[in-house]
């Protein structure tokens, strides 16, 4: 595990190396919006080495969940490319809302199943 001081230093280094942009959606983001992402999630055997770390904006970090990073990047790419009138943030927000709604529905379903 990384300490918070180490984390901050790594985040700043990665943020600078990526041109202060999100690894996935390529939008520029302020330092306080950057979150450290494991390209290969720790749960899947990824480590804390610099080669496995990138910085992503909070939306991408939150939406990616455990999706394969290449797949997720393609999804974000297509959203950014297709987003003539809507910014990726809006689309990602919608995606997040849909996902949350689906999650909520699934949780409610499970609850009901338990009761009956
Ligand atoms: Zn992003």
* pLDDT tens, position by position, 1-32: 678 999 999 999 999 999 999 999 888 888 88
Residues 113, 84: Cα–Cα separation, whole Å: 43
**CA 23 – ligand 1 centroid, Å:** 6
114 versus 116: the higher-pLDDT residue is 114
Q: Is the predicted pLDDT of residue 84 greater than 50, yes or no? A: no
**CA 20 – ligand 1 centroid, Å:** 11
Q: What is the pLDDT of residue 62?
A: 82
Q: Is the predicted pLDDT of residue 53 greater than 90, yes or no? A: yes
Query: φ and ψ at 54, to 5 degrees?
Result: -140, 170
**CA 114 – ligand 1 centroid, Å:** 38
Structural domains for the chain: 4-115 (3.40.1800.10)
Q: Which helix (H) or strand (E) holds 43?
A: none
**CA 106 – ligand 1 centroid, Å:** 27
């Amino acid at each position: 595990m990384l300490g918070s001081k180490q984390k901050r230093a790594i985040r700043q280094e990665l943020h600078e190396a990526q041109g202060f942009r999100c690894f996935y959606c390529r939008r520029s983001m302020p330092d306080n919006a950057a979150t450290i992402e494991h390209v290969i999630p720790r749960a899947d055997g990824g480590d804390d080495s610099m080669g496995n770390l990138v910085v992503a904006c909070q939306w991408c970090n939150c939406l990616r969940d455990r999706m394969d990073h290449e797949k997720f990047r393609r999804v974000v790419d297509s959203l950014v490319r297709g987003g003539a009138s809507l910014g990726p943030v809006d689309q990602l927000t919608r995606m997040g809302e849909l996902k949350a709604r689906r999650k909520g529905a699934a949780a409610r379903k499970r609850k009901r199943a338990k009761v009956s």
